[in-house]
Amino acid sequence: MKFEFDINYEEIKKLVEQIKQQVTPSQKDRERLKEIENIISERLRRRGLKFILGGSYARDTWLPEDADIDFFVLFDPALGSDGIGKKGLKELEEVVKDLNYWKNYAEHPYIEGMLNGIKFNLVPCADVPPGKWITSMDRSRYHNEYLLKKLNPELRGEVRVFKKFLKSNGLYGAEIKVGGVSGYLSEVLAVKYGSFVEILKNIVAWEQGEVVALEPYDYDPKKVFTTPVIILDPVDQKRNLALAIKNRVLGKLKVLALNFLKSPDVKYFAERQPVPEDRTSNNVVMISFKAPDLVEDIRWGMYYKAEEAVRNAFKNSGYRIIRSTVSEYDTWVTIAVFLEFDKRNFEIRSGPSVYFPENVIKFLKSHRYVWVENDMRLYSFEPGKYVDAKDVLASLKINPINWGVPAGISKNFSEGFVYRYSELEGSSLYFKSAKNAFASLFETLAVDSNK
């Protein structure tokens, strides 16, 4: 792709080297993680469990601020998928029964724990050869083998810079809450393109339906996948690594990559705080409710469905929605909706096609202000029935499931608090959740904002 501006490679190189120094773990950082690796490894060996290290720690691409250790524990494939999940969890709970740990869930339950301030994960999977996958985690050992052959010290530094760029801009992580770029995918892109700047250049150049592959493949991915970009897993070419990336997140990544290449700046490696427009506070309506006691991926999937239900309720009441968002802080969730109008003064009514005379006559009789648009249909506007925005959410609380709010959070939603942001009080239990939601409504990709 030919850019309409000159990329200042020297300036970017200096900036990348500066960031590398910030994101490269110190010897003390490494020793802290090595201690935890040794403790957990010894516990696994004592129980006769076969395991491998995986993830960014094993490949030395981890960020000091976001360090954890992944242990993939290999079980007999004869147990089958369910057996590995059940037996695996039981075995792994015995390994950490006297430590601070909790269960989390992906395809199967796995163990997360914390030891001396370091997070670790124990993930059961099947001991199978490539292509004979039983669980989704079975590829992990081969991801590790593949990348360890490809990564060198220089490339590891470039990966860390890219991860920091993603993390600082809310784009890092394939979990439902983020819908962004996973750690593994960020490493795959580094291997594919060779450097941080080349990763960004290629991301900007990706066209709709672009196929990105590191290894040869023998089928047409475009007939299988419909994502805006298709990134094939080099370990399993039938798997699309971009499936978890939300369209909105990919779009944001492309814009930020373009902005950085045009005007490189250290601000892209620091979390930027949105600057809310306080004058809009009366147009932002919120509902805050208690967070359910569910694992992150499950509850965030429910939050997003509830957000869509809220949007639909406002649309059905004639409101125009500028933007909406979800925020979770501590034990509170807030869904915020920024409305173009505080109330609707008029309703636009869609009428029949001009090709149906009888229907046209009926429409003309029952409406006062009528006109024809380019689609050859009749339209009219009528004075709108006033519906207070807070009343929309209040009515939604009465029977949230009917609107599409998931059953798992419907009770909490029904017991939630409805208010305009202008009415928010500092003493509210959900104050921080609401403040974060309000701020995120004004997140911007504009180059000169939030300096």
- Summarised one tens digit per residue, pLDDT across range 384-428 is 666 789 999 999 999 999 999 999 999 999 999 999 999 998 888
Q: Which of 315, 326, 338, 344 is nearest to 416 (CA)?
A: 326
The pLDDT of residue 146 is above 80? yes
Q: Give the per-residue pLDDT at 362.
A: 87
pLDDT exceeds 90 at position 370? no
Assign 450 a pLDDT band (cuts: 50, 70, 90): very low
Q: Assess if residue 373 is contained within a domain.
A: yes
Q: Same domain for 13 and 39?
A: no
pLDDT of residue 184: 97
**Residue 427 is assigned to a structural domain of this protein:** yes
In a domain, 141, yes or no: no
Asked if residue 142 is part of any domain, the answer here is no
Question: Whose CA is closest to 159, among 126, 137, 138, 186?
Answer: 186
Confidence of residue 25 (pLDDT cuts 50, 70, 90): very high
Q: Answer yes or no: is 219 within a domain.
A: yes
User: How many Å apart are CA 80 and CA 94, to the nearest integer?
Assistant: 21
> What is the 8-class DSSP label of residue 344?
-
Split at pLDDT 50, 70, 90, the class of 449 is very low
**Residue-level pLDDT at 386:** 67
Q: What is the pLDDT of residues 241-262, one digit of tens each?
A: 999 999 999 999 999 999 999 9
Cβ-contact 164, 23 below 8 angstroms? yes
71's torsion region: left (phi>0), alpha (psi -120 to 50) or beta? Answer: beta
Of 269, 291, 313, the domain-final residue: 269
- Reported in sequence order, the residue ranges of 133-187 that DSSP labels E, i.e. its strands, are none
Number of folded domains in the chain?
4
Q: Are 379 and 392 members of one domain?
A: no
Helices (H) and strands (E) in the chain, counts: 15, 15
Distances (CA, A) of 250 to 107, 208, 247, 263, 325: 25, 11, 5, 20, 17
In the chain, pLDDT over 90 holds for what percent of residues?
A: 74
**Can you tell me the distance from the alpha carbon of 207 to that of 209, in angstroms, rounded to the nearest whole number?**
6
**Range with lowest mean pLDDT among 91-95, 346-350, 417-421, 434-438:** 346-350
Check whether residue 185 and residue 314 sit in a common domain: no
> pLDDT tens-digit profile of 287-322?
999 999 998 999 999 999 999 999 999 988 888 899
Sorted by sequence, the CB contacts under 8 Å of residue 100 that are 6+ apart come out as: 113, 114, 115
Residue 63 has pLDDT above 70, yes or no: yes
| pLDDT of the residue at 108 | 75
CATH of the domain at 154: 1.10.1410.30
* Residues 130 and 40 reside in one and the same domain: yes
d(C-alpha 62, C-alpha 39), whole Å: 20
Among 172-176, 239-243, 272-276, 307-311, the range scoring the smallest mean pLDDT is: 272-276
Q: Is the distance from CB of 369 to CB of 340 less than 8 angstroms?
A: no
DSSP assignment of 288-334: EEEPPSS-HHHHHHHHHHHHHHHHHHHHHTTPPEEEEEEEEETTEEE
Identify the residue with better confidence: 225 or 388: 225
Taking 80 as the threshold, does the pLDDT of residue 59 lie above it?
yes
Could you tell me the end-to-end alpha-carbon distance of the chain, in angstroms, rounded to an integer?
Answer: 29
Q: pLDDT-based confidence at 282, cuts 50/70/90? A: confident
Mean pLDDT of 235-243: 96
- Quote the mean pLDDT of the chain: 91
Q: Are residues 403 and 354 part of one domain?
A: no
Question: CA-to-CA distance for 165 and 377, rounded, in angstroms?
Answer: 49
432 shares a domain with 297: yes
- Tell me the residue range of the domain where 168 lies: 9-22+150-269
Residue 140 lies in a domain: no
Q: What is the pTM of this model?
A: 0.86
Provide the b/e sequence for 55-94 (b: ≥16 CB within 10 Å): bbbbbebbbbeebbbbbbbbbebebebebbbeebbebbee
Q: Determine contact, residues 335/307, Cβ cutoff 8 Å.
A: yes
Same domain, 160 and 255: yes
* 320 and 410 inside one domain: yes
Answer whether residue 276 shows pLDDT above 70: no
